[in-house]
């Protein structure tokens, strides 16, 4: 019976692929084209700007209170006060200083680790890994370079003619 069910399954899969395959592929292509259209890109950018800079100013959470302090090395490991009743959920008051914002970001990041990472790696390993990644991302020069690389990718994606012009320019430079 196993062979008959396997044959039936393969026949059914082939039938569905032949019948609906092009329709599904076309719908996927249309949806991807729509999501990358000019109107949607405008919507994404305006939503991003409105969510991060409402009223033209950078949004800062008002409900954040002081509950954390940096350790001797200045990194994010074990920076919560253990005697605090709110040591599991961080609340910071001094987000005006860069150090305060860094500590708030680190603590919120450590508190919001995706469940799939915790299930896959374990809570301790996931927290340690997230903390290491956060500490690595504190290098100002590396962050600038990362920002410029991402910005270049976005610009090339939004304006593909720039990539074509750059190829022509580099080809002309090589021929000289």
Under a CB-based contact definition with an 8 Å cutoff, are residues 131 and 106 in contact? Answer: yes
- How many whole angstroms separate alpha carbon 107 and alpha carbon 81? 12
In this prediction the pTM is 0.40
Contact partners, residue 69, CB within 8 Å, separation at least 6: 79, 81, 103
How many CB atoms within 10 Å of residue 160?
A: 10
- How many whole angstroms separate alpha carbon 6 and alpha carbon 9? 5
- Compute the radius of gyration of the chain from its Cα atoms: 25
Comparing CA positions, the residue from 137, 84, 82 lying closest to residue 109 is: 137
- pLDDT number for residue 43: 93
Give pLDDT tens digits along the chain (176 positions): 577 788 888 888 888 878 777 787 888 889 999 999 999 999 999 998 888 888 878 776 555 444 444 444 454 444 444 443 444 444 445 567 888 888 998 999 999 998 988 888 899 999 999 999 999 889 999 999 999 999 999 998 888 888 877 777 777 777 76
């Amino acid at each position: 019976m196993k062979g008959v069910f396997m044959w039936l399954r393969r026949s059914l899969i082939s039938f569905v692929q032949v019948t609906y395959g092009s329709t599904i592929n076309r719908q996927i292509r249309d949806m991807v084209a729509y999501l990358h259209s000019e109107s949607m890109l405008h919507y994404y950018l305006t939503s991003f700007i409105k969510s991060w800079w409402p009223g033209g100013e950078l949004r800062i959470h008002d409900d954040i209170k002081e509950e954390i302090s940096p350790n001797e090395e200045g990194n994010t490991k074990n920076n919560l006060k253990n005697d605090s009743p709110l040591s599991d959920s961080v609340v910071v008051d001094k987000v005006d200083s860069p150090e305060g914002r860094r500590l708030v970001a680190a603590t919120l990041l450590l508190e919001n680790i995706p469940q799939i990472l915790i299930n896959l790696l374990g809570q301790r390993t996931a927290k340690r890994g997230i903390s290491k990644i956060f500490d690595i991302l504190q290098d100002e020069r590396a962050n600038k370079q990362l920002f410029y690389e991402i910005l270049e990718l976005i610009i090339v994606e939004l304006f593909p003619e720039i990539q074509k012009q750059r190829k022509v320019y580099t080809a002309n430079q090589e021929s000289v």
